[in-house]
């Protein structure tokens, strides 16, 4: 299942009902102590993470004494069937447990802010007389209702069959939005089934103490253990059942013998398991260096590098195994103790993870450098409004303006040339090309480090782009536009190129002679990047991403990312000259160089 939304009410600083949309990659941005960590903690409480225990002090101090604390999660991708026992199968639809959007909305509610929290489903549920609260009725009660309605049910031992027959007998169930408890009877059984489908929630804090139990290194290793156990869940359940059967046989035999001695005492006893086994506490995994020093004893920067590697490894594992159960990685301030270059690596690792099926990533940050790399759809700006209440701005063009003012984001005043490209994949292409050309002795600007050149993906949308574009309006610096020709005639960007070339301010625009940037990659570099052992028929107009989708397991968006990052890294000057016989790429770089002081 995929998390679509988090709902908070009376939890810490979030007094009023607050909804936070959760994407594949979601970044919570705002000043210190504004409520970013609270969001991660709330998720931790909902998913039962051991580092996030609800306390009565978590109730909002401004809430009324009788107000409840609610932490809700909305999920899509719910399983088609629910198996309550060997003879009872049902669905969320048949039990009327989905909300008006067709999603599973679950709320953990602390009555008056106290207790351990009870699970409820907020759904379109029957409220007609005789069926309201039917999910919580025992078998005898359901039989009585069926009998009163003269309903003939084939399997009267099945609560599912009884409920469905009773539903069918009612012409108007009067479906209304309501909270349905999942704390007893079949409601409890359904909640137990739901828990087996919930995504794993892995939380990485910025301020954990450096101990073997709670370090940046140990937590990824623990997450690895939990993920491994989830994939073996059926095997572990078999083991658990066999242990129970043997232990219960001994207990039953003991009671039988006790009955010979004291029948009254024997009748008062019944075998019962008090707790489920905690498999993750049995297995311990750690990392030790060649010198015998545990990694958690190293500097915080080193431990965070391990964290980067963990996320990259997880991306590879999830991609290969494509396990059905989802994973949510929540990372607090990933930039902590990291050099800016490593911050970028972390963000790339997170983006790759978030692009995979069944995987979501949540970040918190207050650092403009990291926030500047994030797309609009992933940003949630947390701030206090004029009334002093916590508010969240999301999916709005104004979010960048708020963040720029809040975090003090400014453009780089050293900019001399703006390189305007179609999208972020083209940015990666040009950065990679500048690297390989410099490596092979060609004098071109280093687009990865030179502050004089600002790369703007015109089709992209990030905070950094927003700031630079507003700066671009008034700075009066030349622009270089490079657009794909694609296959349209005339090319879609022909008019835009003509307009730029007619400015007379030193700006210049190019249309590629080939289909798009990927067509300037040599086939050998492409095959090396995708580990392909087959021949590829590629020419100047081949739709290379679509071709690779047919020959690999990647989606088109991931193919384009891999082409413009990894495939570019396998290029060299000789391969470029073979595929770009007219020297277009060098012409583009020369246009940049000639406009730099």
| 186 and 53 co-located in one domain | yes
Least confident of 314-323, 392-401, 473-482: 314-323
Three-class secondary structure of residue 137 per DSSP: coil
pLDDT digits (tens, 9 = 90+) for 283-308: 665 555 555 555 555 555 566 566 66
Give a yes or no: residue 289 inside a domain.
Answer: yes
Residue 575: predicted pLDDT = 97
pLDDT band for position 211 (50/70/90)? very low
Three-class secondary structure of residue 304 per DSSP: helix
* C-alpha to C-alpha distance for 88 and 98, rounded to whole angstroms: 19
pLDDT at position 318 over 70: no
Residue 56: predicted pLDDT = 94
Tokens matching residue 202: 């892995």
Q: What is the DSSP letter of 67?
A: P
The residue with greater pLDDT, 333 or 251, is 333
Residue 340: CB atoms within 10 Å: 11
Structurally, how many domains does the chain consist of? 4
CB 179 within 8 A of CB 121: yes
Output the pTM of the full model: 0.67
The CATH number given to whatever domain includes residue 294 is 3.40.50
Burial 346-367 (b: 16+ CB within 10 A, else e): bbbbbbbbbbbebbbbbbbbbb
What value does the mean pLDDT of the chain take? 83
The whole domain housing 249 covers: 240-279
pLDDT at position 263 over 80: no
The closest alpha carbon to 427, from 437, 419, 435, belongs to 419
What percentage of the chain exceeds 70 in pLDDT?
A: 79
Q: What is the DSSP letter of 115?
A: S
pLDDT digits (tens, 9 = 90+) for 348-397: 778 877 877 788 999 998 776 676 677 778 889 898 888 888 888 886 66
| 100 and 156 co-located in one domain | yes
The closest alpha carbon to 167, from 94, 229, 272, belongs to 94
| 432 and 537 co-located in one domain | yes
Give a yes or no: residue 27 inside a domain.
Answer: no
Residue 337: predicted pLDDT = 57
Residue 300: predicted pLDDT = 59
Residue 101: predicted pLDDT = 95
pLDDT digits (tens, 9 = 90+) for 52-69: 999 999 999 999 999 999
| 351 and 264 co-located in one domain | no
Give a yes or no: residue 33 inside a domain.
Answer: no
Q: Report the interhelical angle of 424-439 vs 584-593 (nearest 10°).
A: 90
Least confident of 265-269, 519-523, 533-537: 265-269
Q: Where are the alpha helices (DSSP H) in 5-64?
A: 36-47
pLDDT band for position 212 (50/70/90)? very low
Tokens matching residue 383: 């701030």
The closest alpha carbon to 376, from 350, 395, 356, belongs to 395
Least confident of 111-125, 299-313, 350-364, 433-447: 299-313
The closest alpha carbon to 216, from 202, 227, 228, belongs to 202
Most confidently predicted of 64-78, 135-149, 380-394: 64-78
pLDDT band for position 240 (50/70/90)? confident
* C-alpha to C-alpha distance for 555 and 558, rounded to whole angstroms: 5
| 224 and 320 co-located in one domain | yes
Residue 424: predicted pLDDT = 84
Average pLDDT over residues 128-137: 88
pLDDT at position 518 over 70: yes
Residues 6+ apart with CB under 8 A from 550: none
pLDDT at position 398 over 80: no
Give a yes or no: residue 226 inside a domain.
Answer: yes
Give a yes or no: residue 244 inside a domain.
Answer: yes
What percentage of the chain exceeds 90 in pLDDT?
A: 40
* C-alpha to C-alpha distance for 480 and 566, rounded to whole angstroms: 25
Residue 532: CB atoms within 10 Å: 14
CB 513 within 8 A of CB 485: yes
pLDDT at position 466 over 50: yes
- Exposed, middle or buried by CB within 10 Å (0-12, 13-18, 19+), for 229? middle
| 371 and 299 co-located in one domain | yes
The closest alpha carbon to 383, from 36, 1, 46, belongs to 36
| 208 and 197 co-located in one domain | no
Domain boundary (350, 385, 407) is at: 407
pLDDT digits (tens, 9 = 90+) for 528-576: 999 999 999 999 999 999 999 999 888 888 899 899 989 999 999 999 9
* C-alpha to C-alpha distance for 316 and 366, rounded to whole angstroms: 29
The closest alpha carbon to 59, from 100, 92, 15, belongs to 15
Most confidently predicted of 93-102, 216-225, 379-388, 476-485: 93-102
Residue 446: predicted pLDDT = 95
pLDDT at position 583 over 90: yes
Residue 463: predicted pLDDT = 61
| 115 and 153 co-located in one domain | yes
């Amino acid at each position: 299942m995929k998390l679509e939304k988090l709902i908070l009410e009376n939890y810490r600083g979030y007094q009023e009902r607050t909804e936070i949309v959760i994407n594949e990659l979601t970044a919570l941005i705002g000043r210190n102590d504004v409520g970013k960590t609270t969001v991660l903690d709330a998720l931790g409480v909902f998913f039962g993470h051991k580092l996030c225990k609800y306390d009565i002090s978590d109730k909002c101090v401004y809430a009324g004494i009788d107000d409840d604390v609610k932490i809700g999660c909305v999920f899509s991708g719910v399983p088609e069937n629910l198996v309550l026992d060997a003879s009872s199968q049902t669905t969320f639809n048949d039990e009327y447990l989905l909300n008006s959007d067709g999603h599973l909305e679950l709320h953990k509610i602390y009555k008056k802010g106290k207790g351990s929290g009870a699970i409820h489903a907020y759904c379109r549920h029957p409220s007609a007389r005789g069926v309201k609260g039917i999910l919580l009725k025992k078998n005898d009660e359901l039989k009585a209702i069926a009998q009163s309605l003269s309903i003939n049910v084939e399997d009267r031992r099945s609560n599912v069959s009884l409920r469905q027959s009773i539903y069918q007998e009612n012409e108007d169930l009067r479906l209304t939005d309501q909270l349905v408890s999942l704390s007893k009877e079949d409601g409890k059984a359904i909640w137990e089934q739901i828990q087996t489908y919930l995504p794993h929630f892995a939380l990485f804090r910025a301020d954990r103490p450096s101990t073997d139990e709670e370090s940046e290194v140990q937590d990824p290793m623990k997450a690895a253990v939990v993920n491994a156990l989830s994939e073996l869940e059926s095997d572990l359940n078999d083991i658990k059942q066999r242990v129970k059967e043997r232990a219960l046989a001994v207990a039953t035999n003991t009671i039988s013998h006790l009955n010979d001695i004291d029948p009254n005492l024997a009748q008062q006893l019944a075998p019962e398991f008090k707790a489920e086994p905690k498999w993750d506490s049995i297995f311990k995994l750690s990392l030790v260096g060649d010198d015998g020093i545990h990694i958690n004893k190293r500097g915080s920067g080193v431990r965070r590098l391990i964290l980067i590697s963990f996320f990259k490894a997880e991306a590879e594992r999830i991609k290969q195994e494509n396990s059905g159960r989802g994973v949510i990685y929540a990372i607090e301030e990933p930039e902590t103790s990291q050099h800016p270059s490593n911050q970028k690596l972390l963000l790339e690792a997170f983006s790759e993870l978030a692009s995979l099926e069944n995987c979501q990533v949540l970040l918190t940050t207050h650092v403009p450098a990291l926030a500047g790399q994030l797309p609009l759809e992933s940003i949630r700006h947390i701030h206090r409004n004029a009334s002093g209440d916590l508010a969240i701005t999301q999916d709005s063009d104004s979010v960048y303006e708020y963040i720029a003012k809040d975090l003090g984001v400014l453009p780089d005043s050293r900019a001399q040339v703006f390189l305007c490209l179609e999208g972020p994949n083209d940015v990666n292409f040009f950065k990679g090309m500048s690297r390989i050309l410099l490596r092979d002795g060609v004098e071109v600007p280093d687009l990865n480090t030179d502050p004089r050149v600002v790369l703007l993906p015109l089709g992209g949308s990030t905070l950094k782009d927003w700031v630079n574009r507003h700066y671009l309006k008034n700075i009066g610096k030349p622009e270089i536009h490079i657009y794909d020709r694609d296959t349209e005639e005339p090319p879609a960007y022909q008019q835009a190129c003509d307009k730029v070339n007619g400015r007379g301010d030193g700006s210049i625009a190019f249309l590629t002679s080939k289909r798009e940037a990927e067509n300037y990659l040599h086939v050998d570099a492409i095959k090396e990047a995708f580990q392909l052992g087959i021949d590829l028929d590629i020419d100047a107009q081949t739709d290379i991403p679509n071709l690779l989708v047919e020959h690999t397991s990647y989606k088109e968006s991931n193919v384009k990312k891999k082409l413009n990052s990894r495939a570019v890294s396998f290029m060299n000057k000789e391969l470029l000259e073979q595929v770009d016989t007219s020297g277009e790429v060098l012409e583009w770089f020369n246009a940049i160089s000639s406009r730099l002081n």
